[in-house]
Amino acid sequence: MKQITPFLWFDDNAEEAVNFYTSVFKNSKIESMTRYDEAAANATGRAKGSLMTAAFQLNGQEFIALNGGPQFKFTEAVSFVINCENQKEVDYYWEKLTAGGDAKAQQCGWLKDKYGLSWQVVPTILSKFLGDKNAKKSQKVMMAMLQMKKIDIGALEKAYAEG
């Protein structure tokens, strides 16, 4: 077990979310699931046999999901970054994570999925461009990115070349 594991609080759809996330990310798996027994169900008002927690991995990163009730919601204050090597990866994760429900595309590669969890779908080349010693180049890339929701690597490369 890793020393730090993100713990995700869902109202009542953790099992659905875990199944969704493990289908989107390659090299992912559900490690274990615990269910509310009669005593826990009586104490929490949850249905006996419904999912309490699930331990799972996405590309080797461990997570735990909990069906804990409606008291807490996800916010953009915490997000998960997906580092993408190329436009094909950016497009894949963007399409999968913005599909269905209340999913929302947001500015600069950010999105909120149908469960309310925030993700940043970011090409690895972006940090190289933004960190360039030539301030004009990095500024051009920043200005181009600020106009985007889903990141377009070709447009970033064009802005970088113009800088």
- Which CATH number goes with the domain that contains 48? 3.30.720.100
Q: Which residues pair with 54 in a beta bridge?
A: 33, 65
- 55 CB-side CA count, 13 A: 8
Stretch among 6-10, 98-102, 129-133, 141-145 having the lowest mean pLDDT: 98-102
pLDDT digits (tens, 9 = 90+) for 61-119: 999 999 999 999 999 999 999 999 999 999 999 999 999 888 999 999 999 999 999 99
Domain termination residue (choose one: 18, 39, 67): 67
Answer yes or no: is 72 within a domain: no
Domain termination residue (choose one: 32, 67, 102): 67
Mean pLDDT of the chain: 95
Domain range for residue 38? Answer: 7-67
Query: What is the Cα–Cα distance from 149 to 80, expressed in whole angstroms?
Result: 16
Q: What share of the chain has pLDDT > 70, as a percent?
A: 99
Assigned token pair, 63:
């997570």
Which of the four pLDDT bands, split at 50, 70 and 90, describes residue 3? Answer: confident
Answer yes or no: is 55 within a domain: yes
Q: Pick the more confident residue, 42 or 91.
A: 91
Whole-prediction pTM value?
0.91
Answer yes or no: is 42 within a domain: yes
Query: What is the Cα–Cα distance from 69 to 144, expressed in whole angstroms?
Result: 41
Q: Does residue 163 register a pLDDT over 90?
A: no
Structure confidence at residue 2 (pLDDT): 66
Residues 142, 88 within the same domain: yes
Residues 150, 121 within the same domain: yes
The dihedrals phi and psi of 53, each to the nearest 5 degrees, come to -135, 155
